[in-house]
Amino acid sequence: MKRRFLQATLALTAALLLGHLPIQARTDGIDSLNFEVRASVRATLGSDVHDATFAGEHLNLNVWGSIGDKLHYRLRQRFTKPLYSETNPLNATDLLLLNYRFADHWSLDAGKTALYIGGMEFDHAPIDLFYWDKFASGVWQVYALGVNLNYHSGPQMISAQFVQSPFSLGKVNCFMGSLYWNGRMLPGWDTIWSLNLADHIDHHKMGYISLGNRFHLGDFRLDLDLMERYHPDQQGFLSDVSLVFQLLYRLPKLELFSKGGYDYNDARNGDYDRAVPAGTHAAFIGGGLFFYPVGGARNTRLHLFGYYENVTRNLNLSLGITYRMRLIKK
């Protein structure tokens, strides 16, 4: 008993001493760990539907860590997704990524990563997305195994990405290559632009030009995304496009927003675009608010919003809460 007590005392003392070492001296281990949760009351109202439910929408584990000075890792695990799928063995794992900073301006990522399909809409974490356009909801997977080569300079990052195709469903020889720019055009104008070429499961290829733009003016922010999708046998330029906007006004504890979008694919374009099928004319419009009740912090967020979309002609409403429980932060 005395021996166990002594061992426990020594272990506790060592933990306390290590906990008070300068952060610069601890280059290995977990830098940050948190859980994040989102739950809502949702309702759908239409001519033939009146549904309401309590929904536990997200429960995520986030980990950031370091192995030495140049190697860093990132994990995000979603416990509200099925853990395994035959077409995606890491189905519930969004991010499982090693980052190696091998030079002042250069780094290499390897593992499961976000797809670098440009656009402010596509760049949000799932817990921060409440409703979205037809393309974002139609992509089969938005996180995939692959590698990224990144160049950093101030606010600019240029990346070349090679990953499993978002439409692979576990098929071999099904990939996507991207050239991606996340940066700043001018003060007050941020950009997420990309060029992408993706295999589909029948091995035809689709090209994407995605132009994501964010404009800042005082407490106002405007996100404006334009995507052109292309296959040589389609009708031509602007026959398969998406446009999404979000206007947000920020106050100390409150954000008011309006968001809408339109996805179009000419009915003559054939069965090439799997995310936005030929003949699509899908529009949505909505708005709401985010309220941050804890002064100065953004870890707790209440939301209230509604949106209407023309395909089902339903009005969708949501009232809920998002909060993050930080367990470790260096």
Read off the pLDDT of residues 250-284 as tens digits, 9 standing for 90 and up. 998 999 999 999 999 999 999 999 999 999 999 99
Instruction: Spell out a b/e string for 71-87, using b for 16 or more CB atoms within 10 Å of the CB, else e.
Output: ebbbbbbbeebeeeeee
> pLDDT per residue over 113-153, tens digit each?
999 998 999 999 999 999 999 999 999 999 999 999 999 99
In a domain, residue 169? The reply is yes
Phi then psi dihedrals of residue 191, to 5 deg? -130, 145
Domain total of the chain: 1
Q: Can you give the pLDDT at residue 9?
A: 37
User: The domain that contains 82 carries what CATH number?
Assistant: 2.40.160.10
In a domain, residue 3? The reply is no
Q: Can you name the residues that pair with 328 across neighbouring β-strands?
A: 33
- Counting residues of the chain whose pLDDT is more than 70, the rounded percentage is 91
Over range 41-47, report the average pLDDT. 94
In a domain, residue 207? The reply is yes
Residue 23's pLDDT band, with cuts at 50, 70 and 90, is very low
Per 3-state DSSP, what percentage of the chain is helix, strand, and coil (rounded to 5)? 10, 55, 30
Look at residue 152 and give its three-state secondary structure.
strand
In a domain, residue 21? The reply is no
Q: Can you give the pLDDT at residue 27?
A: 58
Residue 296's pLDDT band, with cuts at 50, 70 and 90, is low
Look at residue 158 and give its three-state secondary structure.
strand
Check pLDDT > 50 for residue 2: no
Domain that holds residue 234: 32-329
Check pLDDT > 50 for residue 18: no
In a domain, residue 61? The reply is yes
- The region that residue 323 occupies, defined by phi over 0 for left and psi between -120 and 50 for alpha, beta otherwise, is beta
- Check: CB of residue 280 under 8 Å from CB of residue 268: no
Q: Can you give the pLDDT at residue 86?
A: 85
Q: Can you give the pLDDT at residue 48?
A: 87
Q: Can you name the residues that pair with 147 across neighbouring β-strands?
A: 110, 162
Q: Which of 306, 304, 319 is nearest to 41 (CA)?
A: 319
Q: Can you give the pLDDT at residue 63?
A: 97
In a domain, residue 11? The reply is no
Q: Report CA-CA distances (Å) from 245 to 11, 212, 213.
A: 54, 10, 9
Q: What is the mean pLDDT of the chain?
A: 90
Q: Give the span between the Cα atoms of 274 and 213, in whole angstroms.
A: 25
Q: Can you give the pLDDT at residue 19?
A: 44
Supply the Cα-derived Rg of the chain in whole angstroms.
22
In a domain, residue 2? The reply is no
Instruction: Kindly state the tokens that stand for 64.
Output: 């950031």
Q: Can you give the pLDDT at residue 113?
A: 97
In a domain, residue 12? The reply is no
